């Protein structure tokens, strides 16, 4: 799952919140794969809030029983670099390639994201409840 869906879901002030709420709840019920790098990106977004609230949000996420939290290991880094050499010219960032490598490592083929740069990636299904 991409960081933007977590951010939209955690920050009810954002206009995207209503669009992602049901998709996030469904995904969590069915099981979620997320990279430690992606969760750091979410934490970075909320870095200016009170430390207790940030800690609570992140603990709520990491404590989900349906969460598969995948560490950023050397093999995932190598896979990310390979994917970056393929998809970087198509607009994917290095963090996006970490998401792809994490998905590949976990055998996941579905990605919740509002990032349109993933549209050129083969062999994954994009779910975007926000639309274009």
User: Nearest CA to 7 among 43, 51, 50, 60?
Assistant: 43
Q: What is the pTM of this model?
A: 0.89
Domain boundaries, the chain: 3-127
User: Nearest CA to 104 among 85, 123, 90, 130?
Assistant: 123
Is the alpha carbon torsion for 32, 51, 21, 6 positive or negative?
A: negative
Cα–Cα dist 44/42, whole Å: 5
Please name the CATH architecture into which domain 3-127 falls. Answer: 3-Layer(aba) Sandwich (3.40)
Looking at residue 131, its pLDDT comes to: 67
User: Over the chain (132 residues), what is each successive 10-residue block's mean pLDDT?
Assistant: 93 92 92 95 92 90 93 97 94 95 95 92 92 60
User: Nearest CA to 47 among 34, 57, 61, 33?
Assistant: 57
């Amino acid at each position: 799952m991409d960081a933007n869906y977590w951010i939209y879901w955690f920050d009810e002030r954002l206009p995207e919140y209503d669009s992602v709420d049901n998709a996030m709840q469904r995904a969590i019920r069915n099981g979620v794969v997320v990279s430690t790098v992606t969760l750091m990106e979410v934490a970075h977004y909320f870095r200016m809030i009170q430390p207790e609230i940030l800690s609570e949000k992140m603990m709520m996420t990491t404590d989900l029983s349906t969460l598969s939290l995948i560490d950023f290991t050397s093999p995932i880094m190598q896979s990310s670099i390979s994917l970056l050499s393929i998809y970087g010219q198509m607009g994917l960032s290095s963090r996006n390639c970490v998401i792809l490598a994490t998905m590949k490592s976990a055998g996941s083929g579905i990605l919740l994201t509002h990032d349109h740069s993933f549209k050129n990636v083969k062999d994954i299904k994009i779910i975007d409840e926000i639309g274009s």
